[in-house]
Amino acid sequence: MNDLMWIDIIAYVLQFMLIAIAVVVVLQKNNSTIVLLVVAFSLVVSGLYVINHAPDVAIAEVAIGAAIIPLIYVISISRQREFIVLDRAMDDFIISNNDFTGIGYVLLKRFTDYYHLELNICNDPGLCSWEAGPDKVICEKTNVDLIVSRDEEKGVYQLKGKESSLLMTKLAQMAEDYDDIEVHTFTERGFGE
């Protein structure tokens, strides 16, 4: 009988914590804090599962709810701010004097700071060489957001991205000040084509 009372007290404490954590999650505004609160919520809930005579469900909840789901959240929150640029021009447009001081880099940095994005310049030789295919194919097959290339005939640098992205409209506005920079957009293939 004494054991039963202890279980009742633990159950009441866990129930109170469950409601409290749920209310704090709803009222909290910072996403990073919510990730930690969801871990605590999963652990409290798994304790309640054990009290309900379901230790098998509690194991699954601890493994998935308290470990894998927060991992997914952390990855997605960090990847969300990434803006990947593929540099196919391979000259001093972005990298001059072995440093990120080129005129194109200054423009892109200003653009990404406006949207609080994190600029990630990719110059992977496999994708940047001309054997990899035309820009449009690369843009469709990989998840790069922008491709920088050089048009030798006109002597201008071209920034190419997907037409559906509204960020490209803003980039086109910012590039108007530069004479040797053009912004192009690709029309994406719709469904059923």
Partner 1 sequence: MNPVLTFIVVLIGLYGLATSKNIIKSVFCVTIIESGVILLFLNFANYEGGAIPIVSEDVAAIVDPLPHALMITTIVIGSAVTALALIICIKVFHHYGSTEWAQILRREDVK
How many CB atoms are located within 10 Å of the residue 53 CB?
A: 8
Restricting to residues 3-42, which ones interact with partner 1 according to CB under 8 A? 11, 15, 18-19, 22-23, 25-26, 31, 34, 38, 41-42
Q: For partner 1, which is the closer residue by CB, 4 or 125? A: 4
In the bound state with partner 1, the residue whose beta carbon lies nearer, of 76 and 97, is 76
- Give 159: exposed, middle or buried? Use CB within 10 Å, 0-12, 13-18, 19+: buried
Backbone torsion region of residue 16, taken as left when φ is above 0, otherwise alpha when ψ lies between -120 and 50, otherwise beta: alpha
How do the residues of the chain divide into helix, strand and coil, expressed in percent and rounded to 5?
55, 15, 25
Query: What is the footprint of partner 1 within residues 59-118 (CB under 8 A)?
Result: 60-61, 64-65, 68-69, 72-73, 76-77, 79-80, 115
Task: Tell me the sheet residues that pair with 83.
Answer: 119
Is 156 near partner 1 (CB under 8 A)? Answer: no
Q: Residue 48 interacts with partner 1 (CB under 8 A)?
A: yes
**Interface with partner 1, residue 159, by CB under 8 A:** no
CA nearest neighbour of 171 among 96, 115, 128 = 115
Binding region for partner 1 (CB under 8 A): 11, 15, 18-19, 22-23, 25-26, 31, 34, 38, 41-42, 45, 48-49, 51-57, 60-61, 64-65, 68-69, 72-73, 76-77, 79-80, 115, 145, 164-167, 170
